[in-house]
């Protein structure tokens, strides 16, 4: 539990910093919007670009892990959309699909897996980060764009969605990174340092923005705690259980690879869905509560998982 706490506590510290700054007036009402714009237009694109540019495809070619982890994410993502779409519509249900199937691989996955499995776990954690931060994000954005389009003629709607995607920094940045990595060209040192500095701000700013949002007064009608609890249960229990079945019974992965996949799947919801909800002006309250609830509960659930799987050492 101490290992889990050492990873989780800084997250709460950043959320608390944002909460206190908003409640004390250090940061005003516009801070959330402006900080979110920074994360969406600068921080996250730099992070996605850095991940994809530095991806070593030979090292990352681990098809068993990719299939197991990818399937667990996508099955739960689409199942949650189907469950929530009737109540929320496609756009909001797409965000909630991310809430249920978007583990905090980047911010929590690397330090926690390093503590449990060592540095050899970094390639698979990188695969998980690319799967969630790039592939799932892109899928959610496509569904969001479809859900918010008022033009329902298939051809014109497809054109409108395509135009929106081309202008979306969260889609363009990983595409540029993949193209650059495929070219084999070395990234200039100055550009690499630039991406390091900018991407390092993405997660802290997103967590502070989450604290700002939680500090804002919300009407009772805006609070869907039952929805947030459902999404938290899906994230912390259903996704790792699904990964366990796929890893041990469908694809028979080696134990360390399987346990790494399960641990990453058991991580709480990352801040990406909240940034997306705020950017598209969707219902961010459920997402914010899901991140908070799942992160709090993960101290117990991850500690229990490590004990059961024999990785407490």
What does 190-224 look like in DSSP terms, one character per residue? HHHHHHHHHHHTHHHHHHHHHHHHHHS---GGG--
Q: 2-22+30-215+222-308 domain in CATH 1.20.1530.20?
A: yes
Q: Give the pLDDT score at 183.
A: 82
Nearest CA-CA partner of 276 in 264, 266, 288: 288
User: What pTM was estimated for this model as a whole?
Assistant: 0.79
Average pLDDT value for residue range 217-233: 76
DSSP one-letter string for 218-274: --GGG--HHHHHHHHHIIIIIHHHHHHHIIIIIS---HHHHHHHHHHHTSPB-SHHH
Show me where the domains of the chain are located.
Answer: 2-22+30-215+222-308
Please provide the average confidence, as pLDDT, over all residues in the chain.
Answer: 83
User: What's the CA gap between 42 and 144, in Å, rounded?
Assistant: 21
- Assess whether pLDDT exceeds 70 at residue 250: yes
Per-residue pLDDT tens digits for 122-157 = 778 888 888 887 788 888 888 888 887 755 656 666
- Which DSSP string corresponds to 18-41? HHHHHHTTSS-TTHHHHHHHHIII
Per-residue model confidence (pLDDT) at position 221: 47
The residues with which 103 forms a beta bridge, in sequence order, are 269
Distance CA 208, CA 216 (A): 13
pLDDT of res. 132 = 84
Read off the pLDDT of each residue in 224-234 and give the average, rounded to a whole number.
Answer: 91
pLDDT digits (tens, 9 = 90+) for 52-75: 787 666 666 788 899 999 999 999
């Amino acid at each position: 539990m101490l290992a889990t706490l050492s990873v989780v506590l800084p997250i709460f510290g950043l959320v608390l910093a944002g909460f206190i700054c908003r409640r004390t007036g250090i940061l005003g009402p516009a801070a959330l919007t402006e900080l979110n714009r920074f994360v969406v237009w600068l921080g996250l694109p730099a992070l996605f670009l850095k991940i994809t540019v530095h991806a070593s495809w030979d090292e990352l070619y681990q098809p068993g892990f990719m299939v197991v982890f990818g399937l667990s994410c996508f099955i739960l993502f689409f199942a949650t959309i189907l469950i929530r779409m009737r109540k929320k519509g496609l756009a909001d249900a797409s965000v909630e699909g991310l809430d249920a199937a978007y583990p905090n691989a980047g911010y929590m996955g690397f330090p926690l897996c390093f503590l449990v499995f060592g540095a050899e776990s970094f390639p698979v954690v990188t695969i998980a980060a690319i799967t969630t931060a790039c592939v799932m994000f892109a899928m959610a954005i496509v569904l969001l764009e479809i859900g918010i389009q008022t033009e329902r003629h298939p051809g014109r709607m497809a054109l409108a969605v395509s135009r929106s995607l081309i202008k979306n920094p969260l889609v363009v940045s990983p595409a540029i990174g993949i193209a650059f990595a495929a070219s084999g060209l070395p990234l200039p040192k100055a550009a690499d340092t630039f991406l390091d500095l900018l991407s390092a701000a993405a997660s802290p700013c997103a967590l502070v923005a989450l604290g700002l949002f939680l500090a804002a007064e919300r009407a009772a009608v805006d609070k869907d705690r039952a929805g947030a609890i459902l999404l938290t249960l899906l994230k912390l229990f259903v996704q790792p259980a699904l990964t366990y079945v796929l890893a041990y019974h469908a694809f028979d992965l080696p134990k360390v690879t399987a346990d790494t996949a399960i641990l990453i799947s058991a991580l709480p919801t990352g801040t990406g869905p909240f940034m997306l909800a705020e950017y598209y002006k969707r219902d961010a309250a459920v997402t914010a509560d899901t991140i908070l609830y799942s992160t709090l509960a993960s101290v117990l659930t991850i500690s229990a998982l490590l004990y059961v799987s024999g990785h407490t050492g």
